[in-house]
Amino acid sequence: MTMPLAAIIRRMPKAELHLHIEGTLEPEMMFALAARNGHDLPYDSVEAVRRAYDFSSLQDFLDLYYQGMDVLRTEADFFDLTFAYLQRCDADNVVHVEIFFDPQGHLVRGVSFDAMMSGITRALDEGQKRFGITHRLIMSFLRHLSEENGFEVLDMAAAHRDRIFGVGLDSSENGFPPSKFARLFAACRDQGYHLFAHAGEEGPPAYVREAIDILGIERIDHGNRSLEDPDLVREIVARDLALTVCPLSNLKLRVVDDLESHPLGQMLEAGLRATINSDDPAYFGGYMTENYLRIVEALALDHADVRTLARNAFEASYLTSEDQAPHLDEIDRLFSDAIEERGVAIQARRSQEIR
Ligand code: HPA
Ligand code: ZN
């Protein structure tokens, strides 16, 4: 019997490269933390929160995302949030994560840099011990804030340099081009941080180009609109910069009208190293496995496509080649077994037809 593609997707080891830890705050936890911290919520039930998650744009989502993270106050809150995400990863066979956090979103509420770092890293260490999930942590700058504010945060991060692997750029895109942060990213590079940025989610291909040429990013978060510029696509392929694509996010934020018109298939055809990710799963309706299943169904992707996507994520990760190898081998084993089984099934059917 051929293992159906859905079963392989569930079982295969996965790496997640585009996830905002604040975007994993499920409404149930939002209520629990609000109660623990004596914080009032503008909703009277979990259902009311879920009903509010009907977004018309990135900004429409961000307004609720920043409001939601208001409940995060203490070290324990950040631990609980991060550990709950890692439990979801374990259930989805996500074995490696490279995740963002938004320090500026918390500093404004008087949360200390130490509290968030301690909570998040304690959970990441526990997740590695309990589930074997490896990790990298990326500090993301909010692009609607000033570059100067970014420099202040970079100074605060210095005390945690050993736990912060890289820096990213997120929040409202249009009107906030990557070039606004040229000096900040140059300083981050000088301090040895790896560099990432959201670009081409709602913003034009020119923003992707700026992120590459001016900021010097090593991976493109989203990148959908790169496809509008064939020269840019050629450059991204030539430089082998991966795209961290987020199907359900794109659907919920109306970056695409429906999953059937999602550009992931075109990205793979163009030779772009696309990966599947969940972005803000508590807000967008699905974690990693769900993102795979929904996009594979919508685009009728086949075994070879899914194998490529799964491999891409490990190859675009910052695991060493040595640490990638067992996961890549396991992916190959699952797919080659499935393909062999399929071959046997087809042969059996043919011999039946002959008889
Ligand atoms: N885009 C920009 N900023 C964000 C996102 C996103 O998808 N999620 C959380 N902050
Ligand atoms: Zn994102």
Q: What is the mean pLDDT, run by run of 10 residues, along the chain of 355 residues?
A: 85 99 98 97 97 97 98 98 99 99 97 98 98 98 98 98 98 98 98 98 98 98 98 98 99 98 98 99 98 98 98 98 98 88 68 61
What does the CA dihedral 117, 150, 280, 26 come to, rounded to 10 degrees?
50
CA atoms within 13 A on the CB side of 29: 22
Rounded Cα–Cα distance for residues 17 and 11 (Å): 18
Neighbours of 321 (CB within 10 A): 9
Which residue is closest in CA terms to ligand 1's atom 10?
A: 171
Residue 189's Cα: distance from chain center in Å? 22
Q: How many residues belong to the chain?
A: 355
- pLDDT at position 352 is 67
The Å distance, Cα 353 to ligand 1 centre, comes to: 54
Pocket around ligand 1 at a 6 A CB cut-off: 20, 23, 58, 65, 170-171, 198, 201, 249, 279-280
- pLDDT at position 2 is 59
The Å distance, Cα 245 to ligand 2 centre, comes to: 9
Specify the DSSP element, H or E, that contains 252.
helix 247-252
Cβ atoms of residues 122 and 165 within 8 Å: no
- pLDDT at position 337 is 83
Rounded Cα–Cα distance for residues 81 and 69 (Å): 10
The Å distance, Cα 186 to ligand 1 centre, comes to: 22
CA atoms within 13 A on the CB side of 244: 29
Q: Return the closest-CA partner of residue 303 out of 274, 333, 338.
A: 338
CA atoms within 13 A on the CB side of 350: 6
- Catalytic: 201? yes
Task: Spot the catalytic one: 98, 201, 202, 315.
Answer: 201
Rounded Cα–Cα distance for residues 171 and 321 (Å): 32
- pLDDT at position 1 is 43
Neighbours of 42 (CB within 10 A): 10
Q: Which atom of ligand 1 is nearest to the CA of 222?
A: 7
Would you give the DSSP letter of residue 4?
A: P
Q: Which atom of ligand 1 is nearest to the CA of 140?
A: 10
